[in-house]
Amino acid sequence: MVQPLPNQPPPVLKELACPSCGRPLPQRLPGTQTFICPSCNSYVHVGIDELKEAGKGAKLPVSPFPIRLGSRFTLEGVNYFVMGRVLYEGWDDEDRWQWTEWLLGSNDGRLLWLSHDNEKGFVLFRKMRIKTAFDANTARQIPTSDGKTALVHERYPARIIGAEGELTFRASAGARLNMVEGAGHGKEYSIQVTASELEMYEGDKIDEMALATAFNNAEWIEQVKRRSNRAGVYRLVAGIAFFFAIVAFVLTVIANGTGDLTLSQEVTLVPATPAPSVQIPVNFPQGNRPAIVRLWLVSPLPVNTFAEVEVSVISPNEAETFIFEKEFWHETGIDEGERWTERDYFGGEVFVPYQAGTHEVEVTLGEISPLLKQDIKVRVGVFQNHILPSYFLIYGVIAAALGILFFVMSMRK
């Protein structure tokens, strides 16, 4: 149940002053340990009877959400007020990312952290009592408040980029910490580890619309609606892209099996002759349809020899077009004490006869191993009316990539 409240700051407990610039720092939380001066950006630590400056930081960029210091809101029957904000940066070997945490005081005396990052959205974390030993460096499970365990998902270093307001821990600009994140049983878990302390938090995801409604911010509500509509469109586009990708992959499989076998003939190429070549007539009743020439080596090659065979097509107008060259080979050797033998006796290429009519497929023996004296027997196959599968495959990959892109965009919070 959401009940908006007037935007009134909580009462001031104590009036303090920044030791650097003298600006008043009203203390509203009894457990405040750090103030960030809004004038000079000094981090001011609260001691037993004195304030101590702990360095200056850069001014915090404006929050992307209208959650301001001193704002009050009611969410699910609990009144909250915003006391502070911290902007963090985490990183790993490949990436850097940022997230924001707002310190919230509540009318039942608890202090909570409202966290936001682009992947998870908003999560309201409350501090969790540590009941069992937990090694932040190696543990794979997090002991939860109800005696169960949650799985650790991520472990990464982080630092404070900037902060504002009053905070209940000793913060300083650029301070390093290690994060452990996990999830389980519908809850999110966040563990923050510094040199001096380890704090565990358990949280629930909060729908942004519920938060915007709690703040009674019409502009924010409208933004969430627009974003939600946009996410819906992205999901729909992703669905369409995936559908077309599937269609393309099916067409790829179908096209891969197309082609009418027009010619299948075995030819013998004799190395001893000056220009060993054979011409085979083949009729193409219509032009501008893809055809495939395939070569299979019929006579096995002796080990560690090769033979190159070239294929050209002579059109009815006597124009000769080189199609491809295939190197057949048979190799053997020893690798890490094991004998291996590999051979390649098959090749093929697609071409498009521009003209209709009888063509000549010319098969010519090219360079061969000096030791190779035997005749080279090759089976030549020509398939007409082929449909190229590769274009459908490329289309499918691009459509699938677009689908993934739009799906990821639709998931951004």
Partner 1 sequence: MRAIVIVVVLVLFSLTLAGTAYASYTGFGMIASGAPFARVGSIGGPAVQGGGPGSGK
Place of tokens 């009203």: 26
* Minimum distance from residue 295 beta carbon to partner 1 (Å): 16
Q: Shortest Cβ distance from residue 384 to partner 1 (Å)?
A: 11
Among 26, 271, 316, 366, binds partner 1 (CB under 8 A): 316
Site for partner 1 in 211-240 (CB under 8 A): 229, 232-233, 236-237, 240
Q: How far is the CB of 229 from partner 1 (least distance, A)?
A: 7
Contact present, 152 and 216 (Cβ < 8 Å)? no
Structure tokens at 123: 């999560």
Closest CB 227 distance from partner 1, rounded Å: 14
- Residue 129 to residues 107, 134, 189: CA-CA distances in angstroms? 21, 12, 12
- Alpha carbon distance 333, 303 (integer Å): 10
CB of 209 to partner 1, least distance (A): 19
223 vs 8: CA distance, rounded Å: 24
Query: Which residue(s) pair with 164 in the sheet?
Result: 85
- Min separation Cβ 283 and partner 1, Å: 14
User: Using alpha carbons only, what angle is made at residue 138 by residues 168 and 193, rounded to the nearest 5 degrees?
Assistant: 10
Nearer to partner 1 by C-beta: 177 or 313? 313
28 binding partner 1? (CB under 8 A): no
Task: Give the largest CA-CA distance in the chain.
Answer: 106
Give the tokens for residue 24: 């008043």
Report the alpha-carbon distance of residue 290 to residue 350 in Å, rounded: 7
Residues touching partner 1: how many (CB under 8 A)? Answer: 42
Residue 91 or 322: the one with the smaller Cβ distance to partner 1 is 322
Helices (H), 109-215: 208-214
Among 27, 223, 315, 410, indicate the residue that binds partner 1 (CB under 8 A).
Answer: 315
Does 244 interact with partner 1 (rule: CB under 8 A)? yes
Q: How far is CA 259 from CA 262, 281, 290, in A?
A: 9, 18, 9
Burial class (CB in 10 A: 0-12, 13-18, 19+), 138: exposed
CA dihedral 75, 80, 86, 92 (to 10 degrees): -30
374/369 Cα distance (integer angstroms): 11
Residue 316 backbone zone (phi > 0: left; psi -120 to 50: alpha; other: beta): alpha
- CA–CA distance from 398 to each of 132, 233, 250, 251, 407 (Å)? 50, 19, 15, 15, 14
Applying CB under 8 A, which of residues 152, 158, 307, 313 lies at the interface with partner 1? Answer: 313
CB 104, min distance to partner 1, A: 36
**Nearer Cβ to partner 1, position 203 or 353?**
353
Minimum distance from residue 359 beta carbon to partner 1 (Å): 7
Q: Is 270 in the site for partner 1 (CB under 8 A)?
A: no
Task: Report the residue number, 111 or 402, with the smaller CB distance to partner 1.
Answer: 402
**Nearer to partner 1 among residue 270 and residue 408 (C-beta):** 408
Q: Is residue 170 close enough to count as binding partner 1 by CB under 8 A?
A: no
Is residue 242 part of the contact set for partner 1 (CB under 8 A)? no
Residues 22, 30 contacting (CB under 8 angstroms): no
Q: Is the Cβ of residue 321 or residue 369 nearer to partner 1 in the bound state?
A: 321
Q: 177 or 248: whose CB is closer to partner 1?
A: 248
Residue type, 91: W
Q: Taking CB under 8 A as the rule, does residue 184 contact partner 1?
A: no
Q: Contacts with partner 1 in 352-371 (CB under 8 A)?
A: 352-355, 359
CB of 348 to partner 1, least distance (A): 12
Nearer to partner 1 by Cβ, of 179 and 251: the residue is 251
Asked if 269 is part of the footprint of partner 1 (rule: CB under 8 A), the reply reads no
Residues that bind partner 1 (CB under 8 A): 229, 232-233, 236-237, 240-241, 244, 247-248, 251, 255, 288-290, 313, 315-317, 319-323, 349-355, 359, 386-392, 394-395, 399
